[in-house]
Amino acid sequence: MEKAFTISGTGCALVDYLYKPISFTGESFQCYLSMKPGDGGLSPGKLVFSEEFEAFSGTDYLVARERITQGKPPVAQNIGGPSIVSLIHAAQMLAGKPAEVRFYGSKGQDAGAAFIEDRLKLTPLKIGKYKTVSQYTPFTDVLSDPDYDNGHGERIFINNIGAAREMRPDDLDDAFFQSDIVVFGGTALVPHLHLSLLELLKKAKANHAMTLVNTVYDFLNEKKNPAAPWPLGRSTETFDYIDLLITDMEEALRLSGQQTVEAALAFFKTTGVGAVIVTHGAKPVHYFYQNRIFGHGGGCKPVSQKVVDAILQNPELAGDTTGCGDNLVGGVIASIAEQLLTPQNRATAKVDLEEAIILGIASGGYTCFYHGGTFFEAFPGQKRQLIALNC
């Protein structure tokens, strides 16, 4: 019997607490705004660690959160994080296929861990290894202003890293590296994995895995040297072992040290990376590909106009934009896996990346119809049906 197609991922996984609506122009918010990159203040679309925010503001984070939210509780609590959210979505999209999606991570012994464990039971995601440590389960407070950017909305993320500090390369077993696709998601929030990306990617490629990296705002390196490009692993050699890099516009510019998406893509083409997808909120997705798996090409694709029109015409349908990028990643992963599951493509190891991007864009668009990044299905295949209907 042929073994199942396996996708194994690791990186950022946490509990998201969504606060909405939060006015980024409100009086209670203004005193916490960032003044320069990496200073620990709040900035739309960006992430900051709670301890850095406390140093910037001179205020205990929980006290500041009470002021910013005016004491209101979160409107939603959900599983979050660029790794686990994208993997859950990929697993949902692959329902009924001979494929298994697995996650490796680190959690505490607290209510956050119990919440994640309970909610994961409602998803098809498998656990490769989810170790329990003494620190608290990571969590992020997501501040959402739906009126920002002419009604397109934007978020600010305050991350509390906790148990992610104890996730190490040796927590990834042989089965992880022997997967058909190996995914590293948001490792800037998992410091030991992020620093070791080059070695981890080399090991995956040595086992003939396809490698995918999706990024998150790298506050630690931004703070360390805001004038220099962010390192990805120990050196630019890391890019040479990445088959597909997915990043948002801000992250692409900071990783490349460039000022425009065109210049960033030109930089990435020189690094040996197989392909790059750059998202930009409600603006078009830019991409190129240049390896044996995807072939050679590039261009840009718009976001789903059907989603934009539906929300503009019926604002009550809007959830929030939390997790749009993560679900886009999950859609791309699912499409790649589906294509490689066909006998012809599996034999040739060829993938139509533009087809994968289309499913990714639809997946990211549908996230705007619910709160938080993770959608919990009533039955297997439900999310795929909803995406096909609405996006």
Q: Tell me, what's the pLDDT at 316?
A: 74
For 120-126, what is the mean pLDDT?
97
Split at pLDDT 50, 70, 90, the class of 148 is confident
Q: Which of 89, 342, 351 is nearest to 243 (CA)?
A: 351
Question: Is 132 strand, coil or helix?
Answer: strand
Written as one letter, the residue type at 52 is E
Quick check: 369 pLDDT over 70?
yes
pLDDT for residue 272 is more than 70: yes
Residue 147 and residue 373: Cα distance in Å, rounded? 19
Q: Which residue has the tokens 């170790």?
A: 131
Indicate the pairing of strand 47-49 with strand 154-160. Answer: parallel
Find the mean pLDDT for residues 59-63.
Answer: 93
pTM of the model: 0.91
Residue 184 reports pLDDT greater than 50: yes
Q: Could you read off the pLDDT of 30-56 as tens digits, one per residue? A: 889 998 888 999 998 888 999 999 999
Write the DSSP string, 327-375.
Answer: HHHHHHHHHHHHHHHSHHHHHHT---HHHHHHHHHHHHHHGGGSSSS--
pLDDT recorded at residue 1: 44
DSSP tag of 116: H
Question: In the beta sheet, which residues pair with residue 300?
Answer: 286
Question: Residue 2: is its pLDDT beyond 70?
Answer: no
Cross-strand pairs, 363: none
In order of 11, 152, 271, 278, 345, the CA distances from 255 in angstroms are 18, 25, 12, 12, 32
Both tokens assigned to 372: 């938080």
pLDDT at 310 over 90: no
What pLDDT band is residue 359 in, cutting at 50, 70 and 90?
very high
Confidence at residue 347, expressed as pLDDT on a 0 to 100 scale: 67
Pair of tokens at residue 250: 């801000």
Q: In what order do the strands lie in the sheet with 295-301?
A: 126-132, 99-107, 5-11, 181-185, 210-214, 244-248, 275-280, 283-291, 295-301
CA distances from residue 348 to 62, 85, 247 in whole angstroms, order as listed: 54, 30, 27
Q: What pLDDT is attached to residue 76?
A: 84
Q: Indicate whether 318 pLDDT > 90.
A: no
